Amino acid sequence: MAPREDSRPVPAGVPISDWRVFGILGVLCLLLYARALFFGFTYLDDNVLILDNLAFLQNIGNVGRAFTQEVFHVLHSSASYYRPILTLSFMFDALISGAAPFMYHLSNIIFHLFSAFLVYKLFLKLKHPQSLALFFSLVFAVHPVLTQAVAWVPGRNDSLVAIFSLATFIFLIDYWADRNSKSLLKSLLFFALAIFSKETALVIPVIFGIYLLLTGKLRAASERKEIWRIAAGFAAAGFIWIWLRHVALASNPLPLTVLEMLKSVIINSPALIQFIGKVFFPFNLSVLPIIRDTGFEWGVLALFGLAVMGATGLRKESGRMVLFGVVWFLAFLLPSFIRPDTKLTADFIEHRVYLPIIGLFMILAETKALSSLDFKKRTHLYLTLTLLGVFAVITFAHQGNFADRLSFWKNAASASPHSPLAQRNLGAMYYLDGQHDLAENYYKNALALNPTEQMVHNNLGLIYASRGQLDAAFKEYQLELAINPNYDNAHFNLGLLYHKAGKPAEARSEWKRTLEINPEYQDAIAALKASEAWELGK
C-alpha cells in the first residue's frame, strides 16, 4: 500500500476537558489500587533495590552517582542493568518513607495514572475521537495484565519509561505539525529521561521514523531535511547515555554480540503469543510466568480473532496504522526477550507488556466496531462499563498476589512449577519465616530443576550453619562461589563461618572481597571494622 497523508480531521467539539479526564482516571486508579498502598515488599528485586541499598538512597548527595552505577549497585554483577531514573525515583520515596513500603506503592499508582492519561493524549494526537481515546485510557488503567507494573514496586520501571516515551512521541507529533522548537526540545528532554529509565526507549527514533513514512509525511524535500535535525538531537542524547552507561557498567559488561541477542529473541519468541493472549484474555496471570507453564491456547484464540477482524472489520485505508501498531508492539516488547544467560529459565513478567500494549490498542482503533464508539449510545456505554468492570475485578483479585513476599512466591511456585527461581525464592521466604525444613525442600526442588541455580547453595549453607553443621555449610558456600564467584552474600556468609570457626584472617579476607563486589554492604563494613578492632586490641 502506498503511504498516504493522514487526512483524518481532528475531532471537534470535545465535551470533556483534560482535567476532567485526568480526574476520572485518578479516581479510578486510586479506588482500584488503594489496597496496594498497604502491601509490603515481594523480595523480587525490591529487597535489593531498596532495602539493601537504603543508605545509598537516603543520601541526597548520591543523585549524581545514580548515573554512574549499575541499578543494583553491585560491582561485577551479572545483571548489568542501567536504570538511573528508577534509582532517583526510589531515592525520592526513601527520603520520605525510608524502609516502609507505603510511599513506594503510592508513587507506583501515581505513575500509572500519568501513563493512562498520556495514552489518552496520544490517541487524540493520532486524530482519534475523544470517546475512543478515553476508552483506551480507561482500559489501560484497569487492565489486569498491567497489574504487576503497579502492585510490584520495581514494576514502576515500565510505567516510567511509558510516561517518558509517550511524552516524547506526543511532542514529536506537535513539532512535526507546527515546527515549534519548544516542542522539539521537550521531546528530546523526555527521550533522554526515557532512555535513562530503560534502554528499550532507544527504539523511539526508529518508531517515529516509521510513523512518518506510513503517514506520508516525508514526501517533501524540506520534510526529509527536517528529519536530520530531529535525528541529531536523538543522537546527542544517545551519545550521553552510551558514555554514562559505559562508566556505570565498566566492571560488568554484557558479553552478548548482536547475533547472540537475535538468537535470544528468536528462542524466546513463543512468549509473543502468550503476551497477546493475556492482553485479550487475562485469565491465566502469574507473578513470574515462564513459557513452559503458561500455555498458548488464549494467544492462539486472540490471534485468530485479530485475523478475523483484519479480514472483515477494518476501516478503509487503515492498513498503515495497523502496521504501525504492529511495529509499536514488537519494537517495545522484543528487546525484553534478550537474556544474557541462556542457562537460566527465562521469565516473561507481565509488566513488560505495559508500553507495547498500546500498539495493540492502535490496531483495535482501526476496526469498524471501535472506531464508531460513542458513549452517548447506551449499548456502547454499557458494554464499555461491563468490560471495565470485569477487568477491574480480575485486577483487584490479582493484586493480592503482591501483598507480601510469601503471597508473591507462593503464586510464582504454583503457577510456574518448572521455574527454579520460583522454587528457590519460595524456599527463601520460608527461611526468613523460620521454617527451615520447608525452605530446604524448596531449595532442593530448585536444584533438581537447575543444578547451577544461583544462590541456592548459599541459602542451604545458611540453614546448615544455623543447625551447627559447619562442614556442610562450608561445602555449600564453596559450591555457590564456584557457580557464582561474585555473589557478595556468599562471601559475607563464608566470612561469618570462618569467624565462628576461629579463623579471623580468613574471615576478614572474605569480608574484604564482599566489599570489593558491593562497597555499600553495611553488614560487611561493620563486621570488618569489628574484626580489625579486635585484632588491634589483642
**Does one domain contain both 127 and 220?**
yes
Please say which residue of 381, 402, 423 terminates a domain: 402
**Does one domain contain both 363 and 508?**
no
- C-beta separation of 346 from 422 below 8 A: no
Q: Which of 230-244, 258-272, 354-368, 450-464 has the lowest mean pLDDT?
A: 258-272
pLDDT at 27 over 90: yes
pLDDT at 9 over 60: no
Give the pLDDT of residue 268.
Answer: 92
Within-domain flag for 427:
no
Segment 7-16 shows an average pLDDT of 52
Please say which residue of 402, 425, 459 terminates a domain: 402
Within-domain flag for 50:
yes
**Does one domain contain both 495 and 383?**
no
What residue numbers bound the domain in which 366 lies? 40-402
Within-domain flag for 152:
yes
Give the pLDDT of residue 338.
Answer: 87
User: How many Å apart are CA 258 and CA 145, to the nearest integer?
Assistant: 30
Give the pLDDT of residue 13.
Answer: 45
**Does one domain contain both 391 and 507?**
no
pLDDT at 365 over 90: yes
The amino acid that residue 332 corresponds to is: F
- C-beta separation of 370 from 124 below 8 A: no
Greatest Cα-to-Cα distance within the chain, rounded to the nearest angstrom: 87
**Does one domain contain both 384 and 533?**
no
Give the pLDDT of residue 75.
Answer: 55
Within-domain flag for 15:
no
Please say which residue of 357, 387, 402 terminates a domain: 402
**Beta strand residue intervals within 390-482, DSSP E:** none
Backbone angle region of 75, left / alpha / beta, with phi > 0 → left and psi within -120 to 50 → alpha? beta
> Radius of gyration of the chain from Cα atoms?
25
Give the pLDDT of residue 225.
Answer: 79
C-alpha cell at 259: 547475533
User: How many Å apart are CA 411 and CA 249, to the nearest integer?
Assistant: 33
Residue with cell 461491563: 386
Within-domain flag for 384:
yes
Looking at the 3D structure of the chain, how many domains does it have? 2
C-alpha cell at 419: 521455574
DSSP state of 50: I
- The pLDDT tens digits of the residues spanning 66-102 come to 999 888 876 545 557 899 999 999 999 999 999 999 9
Q: Which of 68-77, 239-248, 510-519 has the lowest mean pLDDT?
A: 68-77
pLDDT at 31 over 80: yes
**Which residue in 318, 302, 303 sits closest to 372, CA to CA?**
318
Backbone angle region of 43, left / alpha / beta, with phi > 0 → left and psi within -120 to 50 → alpha? left
pLDDT band (50, 70, 90) for residue 6: very low
User: How many Å apart are CA 278 and CA 360, to the nearest integer?
Assistant: 12
pLDDT at 419 over 60: yes
User: How many Å apart are CA 396 and CA 141, to the nearest integer?
Assistant: 12
**Does one domain contain both 390 and 523?**
no
Within-domain flag for 34:
no
**Which residue in 90, 70, 88 sits closest to 80, CA to CA?**
70
**Does one domain contain both 103 and 236?**
yes
- The pLDDT tens digits of the residues spanning 205-220 come to 999 999 999 988 877 7
Half-sphere exposure (Cβ direction) of 65: Cα atoms closer than 13 Å: 12
User: How many Å apart are CA 218 and CA 227, to the nearest integer?
Assistant: 8
Cα 32 from chain centre: 20
**Does one domain contain both 108 and 230?**
yes
The Cα-based distances of 423 to 290, 399, 416, 449, 456 in angstroms read 13, 21, 9, 9, 10
User: How many Å apart are CA 137 and CA 217, to the nearest integer?
Assistant: 27
Within-domain flag for 343:
yes
Within-domain flag for 444:
no
Mean pLDDT (the chain) is 91
DSSP state of 314: B
Q: At what angle do helices 102-125 and 130-142 cross, to 10 degrees?
A: 160
**Does one domain contain both 392 and 527?**
no
Segment 376-383 shows an average pLDDT of 93
Segment 419-444 shows an average pLDDT of 96
User: How many Å apart are CA 143 and CA 150, to the nearest integer?
Assistant: 11
